[in-house]
Amino acid sequence: MPGRIRADDITSVKERSSIEAVVRDHVTLRPAGVGSLKGLCPFHDEKTPSFTVRPTLGTFHCFGCGEGGDVLDFVQKVEHLSFTESVERLAAKLGMELRYEEGGGPREGGTSLGKRSRLVEAHRVAEEFYTAALLDRTRGDARVGRDFLRERGFGSAAVERFGVGFAPADGDALTRHLRERGFTEDELTTAGLSGRGSRGLYDRFRGRLMWPIRDTTGDTVGFGARRLFDGDRIAAKYLNTSETPIYKKSSVLYGLDLAKKAIAADRRAVVVEGYTDVMAAHLSGVEGAVATCGTAFGVDHIKLLRRIMRDEADHAPARVVFTFDGDAAGQKAAMTAFGEDQRWAAQSFVAVAPDGMDPCDLRLAKGDAAVAALVDSAVPMFEFAVRTTIARFDLDTAEGRVQAMKSVAPIVGSIRDTSLRPEYIRTVSGWLGVEVEQMATEVKKAGRLAPPDPTADRRGVGTDEVPEPGPGEGGPGLPPPDLRDPVVAAERQLLQALLQYPGEFPDAVVEALEPEVLTAPAHRAVLDGVRIAAARGHRVGSAAAWVAAVGEAAPVTVRSLVSELSVASLPVRFDSATGLPPRRYLDSLVVGVRDAHLGRRIADAMAALRRIQNDPASDQSSLRERTTALHALELERVRLREGVGS
């Protein structure tokens, strides 16, 4: 075993290592007074920078969490190394050979490297091996990988720039190569480059296209591997290095080593979904592009980017742009990202190509400029989240607009900058076609309530049974009519009258009462039975036969409601001479229900008109058609109220 590193070598490493340069591998710094630099602390999450570096003194200190020390302390803490390993790591960066006391020589493997550096070195050698294999024209098995890249617009220059390689399908080609370079079996298995089987070590990746995954300092710490051959026994399209002492997938971003300079300079990060998307973005001039490595974009990724892009609350907002596929999975990923939006001080945006193409396909189909234009045209994350939520509802109905309004209210209420909320409320009310005051009221309610969970169980708490309906509730699958609503109460009275006094309603009136004029689903089902029974001529028979015919024609779920309505008392004084409800009362029931239905249709038409007026892309012909339709409905309502067609 080697002895301790000589004290004068440790001093030399500290003096020669620039703490500013070392820290900048992890944190973007800006001037903060004479001789000081400031950035977001890498040791705790913060939005106002309290991490300070004094280059002339070679020290750092965070006034938020209290961490501090010299360059060796920083490397130990940020990379989780021992003191000796941190000295060896900095020495390796300097190209400096360390000397050890007590006659000790270099560590195992012929270099003065600690455990972490040994694993990093193994990955560096593996990356060189994979790239050489891909570019070796004599290797027939690598041709599939070269063809894959060529079909996506990536030539040898791109391969070398991003370090793409090929893992031979041989069982232990890389393992043998690394053993020849002096790496031990334990180092190879710990690094995740080799596995251990009954016959010894074997290559972890075989017959796959390889992308090196590097940390912010540029060290390769893992690989992403894509399936190429149908005969691959592992069905997964992508494999990633398992978590190791140097690789944690939730804390690395593919391409960050290449992107961090652009991210720091522009204070803009672009998060794409795959390795080829990162390549396409960089080659298209979007040099701040990164991607996750086999996992969802999470909290640790946010912390990593925030430190580099100076995502500070007391500074001009940075920007983070997410590109997602246009499919359901892409929308789900976007909504997941929106759920973490509060962790940013930055402004979040979403870019989705109109035809759903990812950056790689977009570059191939339309060129580099199209990728840059896609990122530049990104819409605010808030807008994307709202529009994605609204898309689930039918805005041509009052029910759809109300449900959409309730669903987006928590999103509007979650906007960090409260001064922007009034403007967003106006904007969203226009998209929905509702009054601004309605939207504002719903947002105010949402501030006191948790956002609705679309996956929540709507049944009784603590039970897996759907409760049986009570009398008149319409049966399983139909909500009970809410008789507190005057319109629903009027519908009920009309159905009572139709069942109890069928001869008082002309055929034309019954035919004009289509089910959609009623609001309660159970009432619509009963009216269906009334219309079917009337069409079959049953209204001319006895009252009992008529009710029985309606019950037979109506869905089984509302037959008990038919019975109830046929005997329930009407809230009116009957004509003493005829024993029937007053003619004026019966007519008012028909007119009232039809009037309420026309009112809902007018409200729908006005909402559609508002949406068109708030949509810059709408054309004038559509506006004219909607206006004409609205006027026709208003005229029909006037005639109904005047007694025409009632």
State the CB neighbour count (10 A cutoff) for residue 485: 13
Pick from 28-37, 71-80, 336-345, 381-390: least confident:
336-345
Only one residue has tokens 């809230």, namely: 571
Residue 415 has pLDDT above 80, yes or no: no
Is residue 470 very low, low, confident or very high in pLDDT (cuts 50, 70, 90)?
A: very low
CA distances from 544 to 365, 445, 494, 598 (A): 72, 50, 18, 33
Is residue 466 very low, low, confident or very high in pLDDT (cuts 50, 70, 90)?
A: very low
What average pLDDT does range 534-558 have in this prediction? 83
Nearest to 507 by CA among 487, 545, 533: 533
The DSSP bridge pattern shows strands 68-70 and 30-31 to be unpaired
**pLDDT (0 to 100) of residue 617:** 66
- In our burial notation (b when 16+ CB lie closer than 10 A, e otherwise), range 337-347 reads bbeebebbbbb
What average pLDDT does range 606-628 have in this prediction? 77
What average pLDDT does range 628-637 have in this prediction? 85
Only one residue has tokens 């529009």, namely: 387
Most confident of 85-94, 195-204, 540-549: 195-204
Cβ-contact 52, 36 below 8 angstroms: yes
DSSP 8-state code for residue 131: H
Nearest to 324 by CA among 304, 306, 299, 348: 348
CA distances from 486 to 336, 399, 400, 481, 492 (A): 41, 17, 21, 11, 10
**pTM higher than 0.85:** no
Nearest to 226 by CA among 329, 147, 300, 297: 147
Length of the chain: 646
Q: Rounded CA gap, 315 and 310, in Å? A: 8
pLDDT tens per residue across span 240-297: 999 999 999 988 999 999 998 899 888 899 999 899 999 999 999 999 999 999 888 8
Dihedral sign, Cα of residue 166, residue 168, residue 172, residue 174: negative
pLDDT > 70 in the chain, percent: 87
Residues 6 or more apart whose Cβ sits within 8 Å of residue 391: none
Q: Rounded CA gap, 255 and 257, in Å? A: 5
**pLDDT (0 to 100) of residue 341:** 64
Q: Counting Cβ atoms within 10 Å, is residue 578 exposed (0-12), middle (13-18) or buried (19+)?
A: exposed
**pLDDT (0 to 100) of residue 233:** 87
**pLDDT (0 to 100) of residue 467:** 35
- Pick the more confident residue, 168 or 312: 168
Task: Write phi, then psi, for 223 (nearest 5 degrees).
Answer: -140, 150
Residue 521 has pLDDT above 60, yes or no: yes
DSSP 8-state code for residue 645: T
pLDDT tens per residue across span 14-48: 999 999 999 998 998 989 877 889 999 998 888 88
Element (H, E) at 560: helix 559-567
Element (H, E) at 85: helix 83-94
Average pLDDT, the chain: 84
Amino acid letter at 415?
I
pLDDT tens per residue across span 312-344: 766 677 889 999 765 566 666 666 666 666 666
Element (H, E) at 201: strand 200-203
**pLDDT (0 to 100) of residue 328:** 63
pLDDT tens per residue across span 133-161: 999 988 889 999 999 999 999 999 999 99
Q: Rounded CA gap, 478 and 486, in Å? A: 19
What is the separation of C-alpha 55 from the centre of its chain, rounded to a whole number of angstroms? Answer: 41
- Pick the more confident residue, 473 or 53: 53
Pick from 178-192, 322-336, 433-447: least confident:
322-336
- Pick the more confident residue, 218 or 132: 132
CA end-to-end span of the chain, whole Å? 103
